[in-house]
Amino acid sequence: MSFSVKEAEVAELDAMTDLDPPKDLVVFNDDVNTFDHVISTLVKVCRHTPEQAEQCAWIIHYRQKCTVKKGSFDELRPMSVQKFFETMPKLSHTIKLKNPNTGVESEIVIEGLASFFA
């Protein structure tokens, strides 16, 4: 089978245009997660070096967001929000209440993000 140079160029161009452009995994700043948590999560989830993760954390802090990884959708999907929340420490808070009329004390435990924002 022989190809002319033009046929090879067209085939190569077709192959290149079929590829999706790379996607961005962006982390936005918030008032909840600490620098240490963001850094350790970027190391675990995105496989950044500690130095790389710290630089991203500072960019997130000052610019309110940072593209922490580029790649295809299939490559980035496992690194998305679900993976991030799996690495978060579990939120839990116990509230002690005393009924002023009966003197009965009760405890209420709030766990997870759903309880905090409900």
HEC string of the chain? CCCCHHHHHHHHHHHHHHCCCCEEEEEECCCCCCHHHHHHHHHHHHCCCHHHHHHHHHHHHHHCEEEEEEECHHHHHHHCHHHHHHHCCCCEEEEEEECCCCCCEEEEEEEHHHHHHC
pTM: 0.54
**What is the per-residue pLDDT for 52?**
96
Average pLDDT (66-75) is 89
Domain count, the chain: 2
Residues 48 and 82 in one domain: yes
Tell me: do 20 and 69 sit in the same domain.
yes
Domain that holds residue 94: 89-118
Model confidence band, residue 1 (pLDDT cutoffs 50, 70, 90): very low
The model's confidence at residue 18, banded by pLDDT at 50, 70 and 90, is: low
Q: Are residues 115 and 81 in the same domain?
A: no
Q: For residue 84, which of 69, 64, 62 has the smallest C-alpha distance?
A: 69
Residues 66 and 36 both lie in one domain: yes
Q: Quick one: 94 and 53 in the same domain?
A: no
Q: Is the confidence at residue 107, as pLDDT, over 80?
A: yes
Contact present, 45 and 6 (Cβ < 8 Å):
no
My answer on whether 96 and 73 are in the same domain is no
Predicted confidence (pLDDT) at residue 11 exceeds the cutoff of 60: no
Q: What is the pLDDT of residue 44?
A: 87
User: What's the pLDDT score for residue 64?
Assistant: 95
**Spacing of C-alpha 92 from chain mean position:** 21
